[in-house]
């Protein structure tokens, strides 16, 4: 009787753990973490060891503040991206674009591919940190919502 009770508890625990893993899966909606992106940009600019034009950091952070970006990672490996460009020179919000792509797990990374351009993101809890291949481009950081 006692062994049967232990076996039942073990089976219930195994199903509970499997449910937790699935609940914490990579699928879901992620929004751009503007605060984290601004910090990453400031750190990148500080590492450049070049004199920066006055106001460059303020201008760049203002642009980030006016950006909107959402990633939707769907089951089966499909991806939807919705982004709104920063405010343009005339003070109007830029146009909104929606694109489709794919995503795949690769070890601790999630590889997002849109228009045949892969972007490798490191997953840490509910965050995705995506570094562009082009040097000097800030890391994009998304938080699962």
136 secondary structure, DSSP code: T
Does residue 60 sit within a domain?
yes
The beta-carbon contacts of 57-66 under 8 Å, at least 24 apart in sequence, are: 62/86, 62/87, 63/87, 64/34, 64/37, 64/38, 65/34, 65/38, 66/93
The Cα–Cα gap between 87 and 94 comes to 5
pLDDT of residue 69: 93
pLDDT of residue 24: 58
Per-residue pLDDT of the chain (145 residues; tens, 9 = 90+): 322 222 222 222 222 233 333 335 899 999 999 999 988 887 777 777 777 776 777 887 888 888 899 999 999 999 999 998 776 666 666 788 999 999 999 988 999 999 999 999 999 989 999 987 776 677 899 999 9
Does residue 22 sit within a domain?
no
Can you list the positions of beta strands (E) in the chain?
A: 28-32, 68-73, 78-84, 96-106, 109-114, 117-124, 127-130, 140-144
> Which residues pair with residue 106 across a beta bridge?
109
Does residue 9 sit within a domain?
no
Task: Report the CATH number at residue 113.
Answer: 2.40.128.50
The Cα–Cα gap between 65 and 86 comes to 8
Does residue 56 sit within a domain?
yes
Does residue 39 sit within a domain?
yes
Does residue 44 sit within a domain?
yes
Domains of the chain: total: 1
Question: Whole domain around residue 105: which residue ranges?
Answer: 27-144
Does residue 76 sit within a domain?
yes
Does residue 3 sit within a domain?
no
């Amino acid at each position: 009787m006692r062994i049967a009770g232990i076996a039942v508890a073990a089976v219930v625990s195994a199903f509970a753990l499997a449910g937790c893993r699935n609940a914490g899966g990579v699928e879901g909606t992620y929004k751009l973490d503007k605060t984290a992106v601004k910090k990453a940009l400031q750190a990148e600019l500080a590492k450049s060891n070049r004199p920066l034009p006055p106001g460059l950091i303020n201008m760049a952070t203002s642009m980030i503040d006016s950006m909107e970006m959402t990633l939707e990672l769907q089951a089966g490996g499909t991806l939807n991206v919705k982004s709104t460009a920063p405010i343009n020179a005339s003070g109007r919000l830029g146009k909104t674009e929606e694109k489709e792509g794919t995503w795949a797990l690769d070890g601790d990374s999630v590889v997002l591919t849109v228009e045949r351009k892969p972007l490798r993101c490191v997953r840490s809890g509910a965050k995705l940190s995506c570094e562009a291949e082009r040097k000097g481009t800030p890391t994009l950081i998304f938080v699962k919502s």
